[in-house]
A and B are shown apart, each in its own frame.
Chain A
Amino acid sequence: MTEVATARKTLLEATDLRVEFPSRGRRAKAVDGVNIAVGEGEIVALVGESGCGKTTLARTLLGLERPTAGRVMYGGAPLSYTSRALKAYRREVQLVLQDPTGSLNPRHTVYEAVAEGPRIHGLPDEERIVAEALSHAGLRPAERYFLRYPHELSGGQRQRVVIAGALALQPRILVADEPVASLDASVRGEILALLLRLREELGLAALVVTHDLGLAWNIADRVAVMYLGRIVESGPVEQVLKEPRHPYTQALLSVLPESPERVVLAGEPPDPTRVPGGCRFHPRCQVLASGLADEADVGHRCRDEALAVLPAVPDAQAACHYANR
Chain B
Amino acid sequence: MTAIAWTRRRRALGRFWEQYSRQRAGVVGAVILVVAVVVALATPLVSDPDIMDVTKATGEKMAPPSLEFPLGTDESGRSILGMIMWGSRVSLLIGFMSALLSMVIGTVVGIAAGHFRGWVSAVLMRITDWFLVLPSLVLALVLSAILGGGTSTIILAIGITSWAGTARLIRAQTLAVEARPYIERSKALGAGHWHIMSRHVLPNVAPLVLANTTLQVASAIVAESTLAFLGADSGQASWGGLLRGSYDWGAATKGAWWYILPPGVCIVAVVLAFTLVGRALEAVLNPRLRGNA
Contact = CB atoms under 8 A, between A and B. Distances in A.
A212 interface: no
Nearest to B186: A116
A64 B195 contact: no
Contacts of A120: 189-192, 195
A121 B190 contact: yes
B195 A107 contact: no
Q: How large is the interface on B (under 10, 10 to 19, 20 to 34, 35 or more residues)?
A: 20 to 34
Nearest to B5: A147
Interface stretch (B22-30, B101-109, B177-185, B223-231): B177-185
Contacts of A116: 186, 189, 191, 199
Contacts of A95: 184-185, 188
Interface string B1-43: 1001100100000000000000000000000000000000000
Nearest to A175: B188
A173 interface: no
A208 to B, nearest CB: 15
Contacts of A104: 182, 185
A113 B4 CA distance: 17
Interface residues of A, number: 27
B264 interface: no
Interface string A78-116: 000001001100110011011100111101000000001
A169 B191 CA distance: 13
Interface in B43-96: none
A236 to B, nearest CB: 29
A53 interface: no
B150 interface: no
A105 B200 contact: yes
Given A62-B188, A87-B190, A107 B181 contact: no
Contacts of A97: 181, 184-185
A162 B185 contact: yes
A208 B162 CA distance: 50
B4 A103 contact: no
B187 interface: yes
Contacts of B190: 86-87, 90-91, 117, 120-121, 169
A152 to B, nearest CB: 11
Interface string B190-214: 1110010001100110000000000
